[in-house]
Each structure stands twice: as structure tokens, then as C-alpha cells.
């Protein structure tokens, strides 16, 4: 009975692209903007995977790990991303700073972005790059929330 209820609930979830194409297109516009930024593709995928792990978004984890592999990302770095603080030599200092920022922005209710994290990121990136990194984090969190709320399943 419970499984039938879950299946029925999933069948009734909305498809944003079909029902609100303008809203969906607005998120796609953010992706188009991010494609023009100076942030490396590797860093963008690390942001997307890490935020998606935190948010429990199976659809996005699946998509962005595939995309990361296509960019040349290693299996080891993908597998260990959720434990990046434990692996000292696998990620660069710049990546670690951005991963910390990604976590704090994604878990914003845990006290926001600490001054230490903010300053660490600022030590590697200028204001424009920082704004681009923040927009990447904001964008994937929006996609995650849409996908989780509508129970979008990995393909």
C-alpha cells in the first residue's frame, strides 16, 4: 500500500519545463551565463556535485558525475568528494576553499558563510570570480530544489 502511494505521489509531481516553461527557461539562462564565466569546468562540476550530494539530489549527482568524467575528472576525486576534508592531497587549496564555500552556502541555515571561508576563497579569486562562483552555487541549489521537490529520477 505504501509503495503504491509513493508511486501515485510521484505520478502527480509537476514538470516545470512543461507547466512553467518561462521559469525553467530562466534557470537555463543562468546555465548559459555560467558557461561564459572564467570558472574552470572542473571547478563548476565539483560545485555541482558537492551541492547535489548535500541536497540529496540523485538526478543532479548522476548528471554531473557523468559530465565531470567527460571533462576528465577522475573516479577517485568523484568518489571522495563528499569526504574532501579527509583527503589532503587530492584537491587543490583553491578547490578546497570553493568546496567549503559551496557547503556553507548550501547549508546557509547553519550560520551562513563564515568570515574564514569567505577570506580563504578571496585569497584565490578576485571579486568577479567570487561572484561567478557564488552564482554557480546558487544555480545548482535552485536545480537541486526543483529536482528533489518534483522527484526527478536519474536517467
Q: Residue 138: pLDDT band by 50, 70, 90 thresholds?
A: very high
Over 90: is that where the pLDDT of 12 sits?
no
The cell numbers describing 143, all together, are: 536545480
What is the C-alpha separation between 38 and 114, in angstroms, rounded?
24
Asked if 143 and 24 touch (Cβ cutoff 8 Å), the reply is: no
What is the C-alpha separation between 52 and 30, in angstroms, rounded?
17
The pLDDT value given to residue 2 = 39
Question: Cell numbers 521559469 correspond to what residue?
Answer: 23
Identify which of 45, 22, 25, 50 has the alpha carbon closest to the alpha carbon of residue 35: 45
pLDDT tens digits along 80-95? 999 999 998 999 999 9
CATH 1.20.1290.10 is the classification of domain 53-155: yes
Mean pLDDT rounded to a whole number for the chain: 92
pLDDT tens digits along 20-54? 999 999 999 999 999 999 999 999 999 999 999 99
pTM of the complete model: 0.91
Amino acid at each position: 500500500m505504501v509503495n503504491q502511494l509513493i508511486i501515485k505521489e510521484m505520478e502527480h509531481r509537476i514538470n516545470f519545463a512543461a507547466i512553467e516553461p518561462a521559469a525553467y527557461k530562466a534557470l537555463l539562462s543562468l546555465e548559459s551565463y555560467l558557461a561564459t564565466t572564467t570558472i574552470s569546468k572542473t571547478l563548476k562540476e565539483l560545485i555541482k556535485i558537492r551541492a547535489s550530494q548535500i541536497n540529496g539530489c540523485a538526478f543532479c549527482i548522476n548528471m554531473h558525475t557523468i559530465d565531470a568524467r567527460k571533462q576528465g575528472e577522475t573516479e577517485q576525486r568523484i568518489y571522495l568528494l563528499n569526504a574532501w576534508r579527509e583527503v589532503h592531497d587530492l584537491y587543490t587549496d583553491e578547490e578546497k576553499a570553493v568546496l567549503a564555500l559551496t557547503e556553507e552556502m548550501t547549508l546557509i541555515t547553519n550560520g551562513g558563510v563564515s568570515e574564514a571561508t569567505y577570506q580563504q576563497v578571496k585569497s584565490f579569486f578576485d571579486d568577479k570570480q567570487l561572484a561567478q562562483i557564488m552564482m554557480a552555487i546558487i544555480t545548482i541549489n535552485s536545480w537541486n530544489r526543483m529536482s528533489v521537490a518534483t522527484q526527478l529520477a536519474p536517467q
